[in-house]
Each structure stands twice: as C-alpha cells, then as structure tokens.
Amino acid sequence: MWKRLFAAVAGLGLTAGAGFPQSPPVSPADLLPAPPDAPQFARAEKPRALPTPESVMEAEGFRGSIFSTPLPLSPQTLVPAGGPLAAPIILPGGAGKHGQPTFNVIPAGDSFGSVASPNSQSYFPAGPATDSFVFGGPAMGPGRAWVWGSAELLLGNTTGVNVPPLVTTGPASAGLAAGAVGAPGTVVLSGGRKMLDNWRTGLRTEVGAWFGSAHDWGVSARFYSLFSTSDQFVGEADGTNVLNVPQLVSVGGTTVPVPVFVGFPGLAIGTVTTTVQTTFTGGDLNLRRLLVSDPAVRFELFAGYRQLHLGDELGREFRAGGGLGAVLLLVGDDSVRTRNNFYGGQVGGLGSLAFGRWSLQAQSSVALGVNASDLDFDHTRLATIGTVAVPLVQTESGDRVNYFSVVAEGGVRLGFRVTEHAKLTVGYTGIYWSNVRRAQEQFDLSATPTGGTTHLYTNLLSLGAEVRY
C-alpha cells in the first residue's frame, strides 16, 4: 500500500513536468559573475534529455524532480567601497552535506577598520580614507561642497606690560619722602611691575568649505579672542595711614618726583583707584589650494586677509582732602588709552599627517600690512578751595600713527577621530605682532606720553571639537 502511494506522488511530479521543460539544477558556480573578457555564451548549458518516469522510478527511487531541484541561492551581497558595513558580505562556497551549497559569511566590521575576504588578501574599505576625514573627502560631483566647522576653548596670554608705580605707601616718619619711589621702607601697592601677562580663557571658531569637482579649492574663515583681562586697585586713607600717588613734574627742564598724599596721618584723607586692562581679538579670511593629498600626507597653501585688534588702558583717579574742617580738596585723573588695529594680506601653508584615528597638523603664516595705532592721553589736576575750582594741570592729547607691521603665526594641532564626522583636537598656537603701542608703557608718571612702539607675543593653548560633512 505504501509503495503504491509513493509511486502515485512521484508520478504526479513527473506528469506535471512532462509538458514543460525542466530547468537544469543551479550550482553555486553559476551564481558567480563571468570574467570580464569571457564571451556571453561561455556559460550556456548543453540541452539535457528529459527523464522518463521509468528511469526516475528505477534509477532514482523516490527522488523525483520535486526532490532533486536544489534551493535557489540568494544573490551575492556586496558593500560598495567607502560605505558603511551595515550588513554582512555573503560569498558562495562549495558543496556541503547532501549536495547543498555553502556560504562564506563575513561579518560587519568596525566602521574605522577594514574587512578582509577569506579567499584573498584584498580588503574592502570600511570607512572614509584617513585624509578624507582630516581635510575633506573625495570628489562628490560638480557643485557639491565639503564643509567643516570647529570650536575651541582657548587658554592664552599676551606679552605683559611694564607699569610704573601708581600707588605707594611708607612710614610716616619719613615725612615728605614717605612713599617716595626708591626710598627706604616704600612699598608699591599698585603697578611697579610687569602686569597683564596672566593666562586667561578665550574662544576660537572656524568654518570652511571645499568646492569644485576635485575639492582642490576652498575658503575658510576664523575668529578668535582672549577677550579682556584687567587688574584693579582701590585704596582708602582714613587719616592713620600713608597713601601716596607718585608723579613727575618738570621744573626748569628737569623732571623731579613730587608726592601727592591721598592719605597722611593727621593731614590728609582720601581715596585712589587704578585700572590696567588689555583686550586681544583677531580673525582672517583665506582662499585655500590643495596641492598634495594621499591617505597619509596632505599639504595645502592659503592666502587671504587678516585683521588683529589690541586695546590697552591705564587709569588712575584720586581725591585728597585736608584734615577736619579743611576746605582744600585736590582731584587728579591720569588716563591713557591705545587701540592697535592691523590690516593686511597673508600667505601660509598647512600640512598634516594621518595615522589611523589620529592626525597631526602644522600651520604657519606671515602677514604684512599696516597697524593703525590710536593714542588718547589725559592728565588733569584740579584744586578746589571752598566752591572755587582752580585747574593746576590739564593736558589732553591724541593721535593716530600708521606703522608698517608684521604678523607671524605658527602652531600644531593633534586630532583624534571619534566618529566619521567628528574629532577632538588639542594644540598650541603662537602669534607675533610688531610695532604696537601699549597704553601702560606710554605713561611714566609725567604729563606727556613717552612715544615709541614695542612687540606683542601671544600664546594660545586650545581644546576643541571639529565636525565635517
């Protein structure tokens, strides 16, 4: 009975296939693409005779056509170079148990590494080339741009300035020499040293884009600032302490020191305040040209416009009055302000080395231009007797001088790629600027500015992040 049932089922399979030609079995090799130079008819199968029911039943037993046809293979899955490995790579293998095809499955790899084929020594790129991330990728077609932006926290300083003694004190027993600069027992309370060279925080940002089919031309813009830093002093005399405001007075062509006692025991009481301040900012706009680009080394030149600003200020104000019942009041004000603005063109170069997720970048540039330097100087002394104000000294001056100036910059930056589009950076930048005027060094306790220029050095440590698309 069982033999008759199986024979009937096999017969149905043969009968169904009798009217239609049966496709030959598909082997794993048939799924592989033919060599490029092979003719299209090279893999054509020869016609095969259809099996008869007798031959199937006698030679094949119960393995009729419905049992002998192998399962179709899935198409070969390939991942394009440079694309994400979201799925495994499936390569057909040889015949396995019972004639079934086998597969070599290559799992998805790290997006920063590569995946190797088990049948060869070749590699499938799993992410963008190293140099693609550092400064931009391969061509993306005409009119397509590769853009980037970065933000960095700065810790930096600028060259300190020599500030003369602005407020002093000393023993009252020294009489008129109490608090005199250089006298025994004199202590400088404000000034008398180099100031404004402390490290402070700042910010630097940059944006840019590559354009053209080859991404070998680009533009970039930067802005950076250490903002401002200041040093202030407030002194008060209550009639028990000495508070002196040193000054130089020209007498018969000779400069002599003359004290102004804001406070002296039993004689004067008053207040004095001093301020020294500096501000530094800068920026540039550049056209960039890529010259060398490979997976490990990249070099480009740039040229453009650069601008810097340095603002300095020194101020001293005091009010000194006599003892109880006195009607004499002395008011003084010393104010010096300078503003240096550099405008010029610059050229420079930028090179980088890339290794794995790390990159090392070095940059240098030089700019030539003009420094428009403004100076404002005020020196005032007023005496008030009762309700009458008598000007003793009043000097106001200001000018603008254009100096030829040189600005040079050099720096290095170490980067670590955290994703395909972002990396963290740490670096150092040094900036040199010639022919600047500093307000604090224009004041020497006299009624006129000293004149002259000096140089500015800026040191910047940076920590930031960069994003590219």
Which residues, in sequence order, are bridge partners of residue 228?
A: 279
Look at 145 and 443; give whichever has higher pLDDT.
443
- Residue pair 225/203 in contact (Cβ under 8 Å)? The answer is yes
| pLDDT tens by residue, 130-165 | 445 444 444 344 445 589 999 999 999 999 999 999
Any idea which of 83-97, 180-194, 252-266, 349-363 has the lowest mean pLDDT? 83-97
* Mean pLDDT of all residues in 7-16: 42
Mean residue pLDDT of the chain comes to 79
Q: What is the pLDDT of residue 385?
A: 81
Q: Residue 450 carries which side chain, given as an amino acid letter?
A: T
Where does residue 264 fall: left (phi above 0), alpha (psi -120 to 50 degrees), or beta otherwise? beta
| pLDDT tens by residue, 385-409 | 877 888 988 999 999 999 999 999 9
| pLDDT tens by residue, 315-363 | 999 999 875 445 678 999 999 999 999 999 999 999 999 999 999 999 9
Nearest Cα residue to 79 out of 16, 125, 139, 148: 125
Where does residue 212 fall: left (phi above 0), alpha (psi -120 to 50 degrees), or beta otherwise? left
Structural domains in the chain?
A: 52-127 (no CATH), 132-468 (2.40.128.90)
Q: What is the pLDDT of residue 9?
A: 40
Work out the pLDDT band at 24, boundaries 50, 70, 90: low
Q: What is the pLDDT of residue 267?
A: 87
Look at 438 and 116; give whichever has higher pLDDT.
438
Distance CA 186, CA 259 (A): 12
pLDDT at 68 over 60: no
pLDDT at 55 over 60: no
* Mean pLDDT of all residues in 236-251: 92
Nearest Cα residue to 159 out of 467, 462, 459, 460: 459
Distance CA 181, CA 155 (A): 35
Tokens of 194: 């180099």
For the chain, give the percent of residues with pLDDT over 70.
Answer: 68
- Residue pair 106/114 in contact (Cβ under 8 Å)? The answer is no
- Residue pair 202/156 in contact (Cβ under 8 Å)? The answer is yes
* Mean pLDDT of all residues in 31-42: 47
Distance CA 371, CA 439 (A): 15
Look at 48 and 361; give whichever has higher pLDDT.
361
How many residues would you count in the chain? 469
Q: What is the pLDDT of residue 109?
A: 38
pLDDT at 169 over 60: yes
Q: What is the pLDDT of residue 428?
A: 98
pLDDT at 226 over 70: yes
Q: What is the pLDDT of residue 30?
A: 52
Work out the pLDDT band at 99, boundaries 50, 70, 90: low
User: Around Cβ 395, how many Cβ atoms within 10 Å?
Assistant: 14
pLDDT at 61 over 80: no
Distance CA 47, CA 269 (A): 122
* Mean pLDDT of all residues in 410-417: 97
SS (H, E, C) the chain: CHHHHHHHHHHHHHHHHHCCCCCCCCCHHHHCCCCCCCCCCCCCCCCCCCCCHHHHHHHHCCCCHHHHCCCCCCCCECCCCCCCCCCCEEEEEEECHHHCEEEEEECCCCCCCEEECCCCCCEEECCCCHHHHHHCCCCCCCCCCEEEEEEEEEEEEECCEEECCCEEECCHHHHHHCCCCCCCCCEEEECCEEECCCCEEEEEEEEEEEECCCCCEEEEEEEEEEEEEEEEEEEEECCCCCEEEEEEEEECCEEEEEEEEEEECCCEEEEEEEEEEEEEEEEEEEEEEEEEECCCEEEEEEEEEEEEEEEEEEEEEEEEECCCCCCEEEEEEEEEEEEEEEEEEEEEEEEEEEECCEEEEEEEEEEEEEEEEEEEEEEEEEEEECCEEEEEEEEEEEEEEEEEEEEEEEEEEEEEECCCCEEEEEEEEEEEEEEECCHHHHCCCCCCCCCCCEEEEEEEEEEEEEEEC
Q: What is the pLDDT of residue 89?
A: 46
Q: Exposure string (b/e) for 242-252, b if CB count within 10 Å is 16 or more?
A: bbbbbbeeeee
Distance CA 18, CA 108 (A): 46
Q: What is the pLDDT of residue 400?
A: 96
Look at 82 and 27; give whichever has higher pLDDT.
27
Look at 23 and 292; give whichever has higher pLDDT.
292
Look at 167 and 33; give whichever has higher pLDDT.
167
Any idea which of 52-61, 167-176, 229-238, 396-405 has the lowest mean pLDDT? 52-61
Q: Residue 339 carries which side chain, given as an amino acid letter?
A: R
Distance CA 155, CA 198 (A): 10
Distance CA 371, CA 405 (A): 6
Work out the pLDDT band at 214, boundaries 50, 70, 90: confident
Distance CA 51, CA 17 (A): 10
pLDDT at 223 over 80: yes
